[in-house]
């Protein structure tokens, strides 16, 4: 019990430190948000008024995927400084990873809200759908999909950060094969919410 509390305290400290660093370097968060909104706008320009649910869902998750790579892929970039190396060696490994994960989950939650909101603002609902059959399940499916991909990206980025040069390329090489099945499940969840097929979505939930 004491070890668990110590791990959670370490995780909370690391997550709080990560957020303090993010706010001090606010341009990085702004850059991620701008990238997400710009990607949605490009998708809006490339689509037309007859975008079906399948294409709408595919564009949504492609934007979400690459925005997540941009936001989470740099999570371990700061580890090269001496102060961060001291934290890495002095903090409990499990607490350090959980703290990184907590920070990434909060970032992804905000990113999901930005991407989904931008999609509804620019693209609206797919052709033939005035509103989603299950709006709550749509939001839950988007968040679960983002959470699943975030967890994978955090651990892949941790492994790739051990490489001195080319860690970003290694993270992409390691991450894409793991993220593709999750991406397929996420698109199914979203289509189920749009087409009012909650039973199909419930079958997919345990896989996450």
pLDDT in tens, 94-113: 888 888 889 888 888 888 88
Q: For residue 188, is pLDDT > 70? A: yes
Name the pLDDT band for 131 (thresholds 50, 70, 90).
Answer: low
Contact 105, 160 (CB under 8 A): no
Question: In angstroms, rounded to a whole number, what is the distance separating the alpha carbons of residues 13 and 16?
Answer: 5
Considering its fold, how many domains does the chain have in total?
1
Tokens of 108: 């992804």
The yes-or-no verdict on residue 2 having pLDDT over 60 is yes
Read off the pLDDT of residues 51-68 as tens digits, 9 standing for 90 and up. Answer: 777 788 888 888 888 888
Q: What's the domain range around 198? A: 2-207
Please state the pTM of the whole predicted model. Answer: 0.79
E-only strand ranges, the chain: none
Residue 33: the pLDDT is 82
H-helix or E-strand containing 86?
Answer: helix 82-90
């Amino acid at each position: 019990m004491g070890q668990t509390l110590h791990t959670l305290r370490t995780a909370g400290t690391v997550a709080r430190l990560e957020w303090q660093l993010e706010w001090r370097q606010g341009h990085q968060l702004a850059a991620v948000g701008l990238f997400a909104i710009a990607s949605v706008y490009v998708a809006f320009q490339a689509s037309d008024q007859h975008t079906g649910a399948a294409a709408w869902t595919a564009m949504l998750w492609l934007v979400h995927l690459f925005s997540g790579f941009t936001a989470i892929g740099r999570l371990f970039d700061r580890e090269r400084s001496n102060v961060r190396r001291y934290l890495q060696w002095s903090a409990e490994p499990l607490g350090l990873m959980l703290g990184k994960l907590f920070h990434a989950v909060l970032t992804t939650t905000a990113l999901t809200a930005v991407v989904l909101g931008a999609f509804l603002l620019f693209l609206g609902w797919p052709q033939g759908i005035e509103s989603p059959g299950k709006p709550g399940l749509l939001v839950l499916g988007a968040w679960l999909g983002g959470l699943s991909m975030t967890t994978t990206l955090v651990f892949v980025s941790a492994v790739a950060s051990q490489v001195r040069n080319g860690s970003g390329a290694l993270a992409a090489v390691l991450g894409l094969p793991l993220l593709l099945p999750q991406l397929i499940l996420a698109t199914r969840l979203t289509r189920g919410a749009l087409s009012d097929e909650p039973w199909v979505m419930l079958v997919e939930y345990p896989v996450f």
